[in-house]
Structure 1
Amino acid sequence: MKYKDHSCLLLIGIWLSLLFFNCTDEEQAWTFKSEEINFRLEKVADSIRVPFGISFLPNGKMLVTNRFAGEILLVDIDSGEKKMLKGVPKSYCKGDGGALDILPHPKYEQNGWLYFSHSIGDSISSSMSIERGKLKGDSLINVERIFTAYPFYESPSHYGSRMVLKDGYLFFTMGDRYDLKDSAQTLNNHLGKVMRIFEDGQIPKDNPFVDTKNAKPEIWSFGHRNPQGLTLHPKTNALWLHEHGPKGGDELNLVKPGLNYGWPIICHGIDYDDTPIGEGITHKEGMEQPIHHYTPSIAPSGMEFYHGNAFKEWNGNVFIGAMAKTHLNRLVFKNGKVVHEERLLESFGRRIRAVKQGPDGLIYIGVDGGMILRLRPI
């Protein structure tokens, strides 16, 4: 081999060494293999204690709710710089409460509306409400409350809450408040329900229980426990939901108007003291079965059907954050049924709280502790 060839090889070796050793140990560790795609994690932002909600604005910025502190943060995706929005309504930040979901209107560039769900009240009496407002600089202005869930209750648990805007309607979830689980089966309250209202807060006249005596007219479906995932299928536009089970029995459901999803009469899990829920039955006539359920529980939070170009092999798959089992859950569908499950990022060991597809086609996740990260194919 000629001398100059040795020199070239030496220079290449030095360059590769510098490239490798300039990477931190953490960055080297953040590469992963899936069954179909190798990918890496990239840190977008950090120091967000409980990043519950993630959404994207047309200007390339990201909105993130910090449930723990009741904050909405404006995040620069490129630099990771964060600004806490001013004018955000005060949240009750105990237990499961605080700042919850955040959602820009599909026509945000025309009307500027942002939707924000959070827990309200105090240690004596609390509930969940939805506000909408407009962003001016780093302030939320023209804020108006368009929904409040009833009844109020002292427990700081199971507020839901995820939102979806579709065809002028706002769909959103409310939990059963833990101690009031039987309320999920009665229509005179908002607990353990999916609701549908117009985007300005008015009630559609064709909601399934508008004409039912003593029923809350906002109710779309009932018999849910604590739904913390809500999304639309990108092709069918169908509404999908997942909800926490107790000890086992987390559910993935296709939500249709007026249907009863069974909680707490039917359940695929057991109570935390290992006793049955109710009669311990899993099926009953007139109550819907989940499309998929998890036992033991994964403690699901956040959900997104992937439909981008970055991960073409994953198109049509649903991604769900898992907190108890600390992974990103990937489900493959065929003819409306789950035919395969893969658990990504298990070795990463973080509670994944939020999952969202970005406008760049990448998958963004929020992890307790707390960081915003994105998955990028290698």
Structure 2
Amino acid sequence: MAIQRRKLDSLLTGVCASVLLTAGAQAGEMVESAISTEYESFDLVKVAGGLEHPWSVAFLPGGGYLVTQRGGTLKQIDRSGNAREVEGVPDVVASGQGGLLDVALHPDFRDNGWVYLTYSSGSEDQSYTALGRGLMEDGTLHEFEKIFEQDRGGSNHGHFGSRLAWLADGTLLMTIGDRRQEEPSQDLSSHTGSLLRLTEDGAAPADNPFADRDDAQPHIYAYGLRNSQGLVVDPADDTIWLTDHGPRGGDELNRMEAGGNYGWPVVSRGRDYRSEEPFGEARQDADMIDPVYEFLPTLAPSGLAMVTSDRFETWQGNLLAGGLRAERILRIVIEDDEVVHMEELLHGKVGRIRDVREGPNGHLYVLTDESDGGLYRMEAR
């Protein structure tokens, strides 16, 4: 892809100008003030509403947001909460759980302008989880190209996975769901049901754990997953944390290891939707990695953040796991890879939580998965 510096300078000039015009203030509608928790108090502010099943949020340099909507549109929201549609987004198969999904900026976005999107590609009859990137300028993604597509799709429209996270070495993590096919999650010859590690161009790094095996996809970093929609990297040590949807029960928090097998569908702590019998052959297996924590009752996890901000000093190092069905965030305290404490946040206050992020300003952000969804900001007092 040809990166045009002139276009990027134009984008950043416009962003910086809009930030200066707001004099550093952040607009928003106060939803509830002084929400008290065990250790912190915060205000809940609505940044923007009228979003149709938003899926992910990314933060533009100096202010403003990019928000994906599952139906296939990308919104650019300024600091005042005003939204406009970004042009140049790829066509998506917007059906069931598929559509336009995650969004992430390249770590060197200020220099190269790349915006990465995951989405369901293909057709109604056979759809795939795909990754693409484009150069953003003046409300348009230019030169958008697909740089990765899973090898095996599905005729159903569920379990696309599709979270992204960057590692310190500049490689990109991406989750792929099992597409409700279950068994391929144990098949290394398929991307299905796995965590991938990709180069910025969508290729397989030479040092991936299965890169030298003829019977395995070289992009796979770990496997045995069902539908992972929470993913975050600890900036202190590059530890990878992932939340995975179980069947009826069996939602998991996992610490990811290179080459690790996380068991699905052989090992599960959930139950079969149809029979109510325990799912899988066992709850544990010596050759498979147990979750750090099993969420009970069901969380339906989506969105995962780690608190690093001084604004929430007593939460530093904690994970924040969003819940769709549970309509809450769980604050998770971990010591020596063991969950030692949890606290519920925003229970029933905003609806189904799709994404949770820590912003560059140290505030915490939440997206709700509703037909009239919203972007919210948690501001420490």
Per the alignment, residue 239 of structure 1 pairs with 240
Per the alignment, residue 377 of structure 1 pairs with 380
Match of 1:287, SS state, is coil
Query: Is 1:329–1:343's contact at 8 Å kept on the other side of the alignment?
Result: yes
Q: 1:365 deviation in Å?
A: 0.3
Output the TM-score relative to the length of structure 2.
0.89
Cα-to-partner distance string for 1:25-67 (whole Å, 9 max, x where unaligned): x946455221111212101001112121111111311111011
- Specify every segment of 5 or more residues in structure 1 that has no aligned partner in the other structure, as ranges: 1-25
Query: Is 2:190–2:216's contact at 8 Å kept on the other side of the alignment?
Result: yes
Matched, 1:57 2:60: yes
Per the alignment, residue 77 of structure 2 pairs with 75
Q: 1:326 deviation in Å?
A: 0.7
Counterpart amino acid of residue 142 in structure 1: E
Distance 2:106 2:153 in 1: 28
Query: Is 1:181–1:264's contact at 8 Å kept on the other side of the alignment?
Result: yes
Output the TM-score relative to the length of structure 1.
0.90
The alpha-carbon distance between structure 1 residues 361 and 27, as it changes in their structure 2 partners (threshold 3 A), is closer
Distance 2:319 2:257 in 1: 19
Q: 1:202 deviation in Å?
A: 2.2
The alpha-carbon distance between structure 1 residues 233 and 278, as it changes in their structure 2 partners (threshold 3 A), is same
Distance 2:202 2:41 in 1: 44
Matched, 1:45 2:42: no
Counterpart amino acid of residue 138 in structure 1: G
Q: 1:170 deviation in Å?
A: 1.1
Matched, 1:343 2:344: yes
The two structures, once aligned, show a CA RMSD in angstroms of 1.3
1:133-282 equivalence runs, <5 A: 133-166=134-167, 167-178=169-180, 180-273=181-274, 274-279=276-281, 281-282=282-283
Per the alignment, residue 9 of structure 1 pairs with none
Per the alignment, residue 301 of structure 1 pairs with 302
Match of 2:183, SS state, is helix
Query: Is 1:247–1:296's contact at 8 Å kept on the other side of the alignment?
Result: no
Moved more, 118-127 or 155-164: 118-127
Distance 2:267 2:157 in 1: 24
Moved more, 30-39 or 303-312: 30-39
Counterpart amino acid of residue 358 in structure 1: G
The alpha-carbon distance between structure 1 residues 138 and 295, as it changes in their structure 2 partners (threshold 3 A), is same
- Specify every segment of 5 or more residues in structure 2 that has no aligned partner in the other structure, as ranges: 1-28
Distance 2:141 2:32 in 1: 39
Per the alignment, residue 329 of structure 1 pairs with 330
Runs of 4+ displaced beyond 3 Å: 26-31
Counterpart amino acid of residue 177 in structure 1: R
Query: Is 1:127–1:153's contact at 8 Å kept on the other side of the alignment?
Result: yes
Query: Is 1:252–1:290's contact at 8 Å kept on the other side of the alignment?
Result: yes
Q: 1:104 deviation in Å?
A: 0.4
Query: Is 1:165–1:199's contact at 8 Å kept on the other side of the alignment?
Result: no
Q: 1:181 deviation in Å?
A: 0.4
Distance 1:367 1:125 in 2: 28
For these two proteins, the number of residue pairs brought into alignment is 349
Q: 1:349 deviation in Å?
A: 5.1
Q: 1:196 deviation in Å?
A: 1.0
Cα-to-partner distance string for 1:77-116 (whole Å, 9 max, x where unaligned): x210111110100111111101111000111111111111
Q: 1:200 deviation in Å?
A: 1.0
Match of 1:161, SS state, is strand
Distance 1:333 1:143 in 2: 40
Per the alignment, residue 117 of structure 1 pairs with 118
Distance 1:72 1:163 in 2: 16
Per the alignment, residue 6 of structure 2 pairs with none
Larger radius of gyration: 1
Counterpart amino acid of residue 76 in structure 2: L
Distance 1:319 1:29 in 2: 20
Query: Is 2:307–2:318's contact at 8 Å kept on the other side of the alignment?
Result: yes
Q: 1:262 deviation in Å?
A: 0.3
Q: 1:296 deviation in Å?
A: 2.3
